[in-house]
A and B are shown apart, each in its own frame.
Chain A
């Protein structure tokens, strides 16, 4: 089973700053199978990035994804208060079919 480890656990930044969130896989994975989601309190997850670097429909270009192999990054530029959320990376694999990272909580001060 591939394990996804996200870091940091919590990130506290100010509006206008840049957030860099990491997702590390225990084995090499295909970039096309790596996605990022945003979840605000009480809400369902929302797709941000798929294929490691493609933005989902309606996602502002402040959000970008990069990486390959075992190391992937979600970058959020020009932070806004509504970016406060928990961010999850996810990979599509064999068994189990999908795994998620444990999440990074982003706080906007």
Chain B
């Protein structure tokens, strides 16, 4: 069964650090695109960071320079190192698998699809003094 389980959330003071983990089963983390998405209490979804299968990383402007995404082949785990945390980083953090698929129509070039097809249940981060 394909699934992911996040952990590492908790209460941390402003300016502190936390490392989230996302343990995957049924597929290989480093062979896929993987994202972190967060949801502040009562708010909508916000994409945070992406790790491509070639190791390229991308970040939302709101976390750039403070968060680091990485993947571990031996543990089949996705990580999110969060530094210099702020109150506005308080949220449920979800890891999600980015599915990248392609179709080849009879005419024209290939069509690429990007979407998040598998999600973990989330881990809660609270930044407060």
Which residues does A use to contact B, with CB under 8 Å? 32-33, 35, 37, 39, 43-47, 50-51, 54, 56, 88, 90, 92, 96-103
A46: chain B residues at CB < 8 Å are: 119
Contacting residue for A32 out of B44, B96, B111, CB 8 A: B111
B111: chain A residues at CB < 8 Å are: 32, 51
Interface residues of B in 44-84 (CB under 8 A from A): 44-47, 50, 58, 60-61
Distance between A12 CB and nearest chain B CB, rounded to angstroms: 19
> CA A42 – CA B111 in complex, angstroms?
35
Interface residues of B in 70-129 (CB under 8 A from A): 94, 96, 99, 111-117, 119-122
- A-B CB contact pairs (8 Å), 27 listed: A32-B112, A35-B115, A35-B116, A39-B45, A44-B119, A44-B121, A45-B94, A45-B96, A47-B116, A50-B99, A50-B117, A51-B113, A54-B113, A56-B117, A88-B44, A90-B45, A90-B115, A92-B114, A96-B61, A97-B50, A98-B35, A98-B47, A98-B116, A99-B47, A100-B46, A102-B44, A103-B44
Interface size class of B (residues with CB under 8 A): 20 to 34
A44: chain B residues at CB < 8 Å are: 94, 119-122
A47 and B120 in contact, given A96-B60, A97-B50, A100-B47 (Cβ under 8 angstroms):
no
> CA A45 – CA B93 in complex, angstroms?
12
A39: chain B residues at CB < 8 Å are: 45
Total inter-chain residue pairs, C-beta < 8 Å: 66
Report whether over half of chain B's contact residues are helix, strand or loop; otherwise say mixed: strand
> CA A97 – CA B96 in complex, angstroms?
14
A33 and B113 in contact, given A44-B94, A45-B94, A96-B60 (Cβ under 8 angstroms):
yes
Q: In chain A, what residue has the closest Cβ to B95?
A: A44
Sample of 12 more A-B contacts, CB < 8 Å, known A47-B115, A92-B115: A32-B113, A33-B113, A44-B120, A45-B37, A45-B94, A50-B113, A50-B117, A51-B111, A56-B117, A90-B115, A98-B37, A103-B45
> CA A9 – CA B121 in complex, angstroms?
25
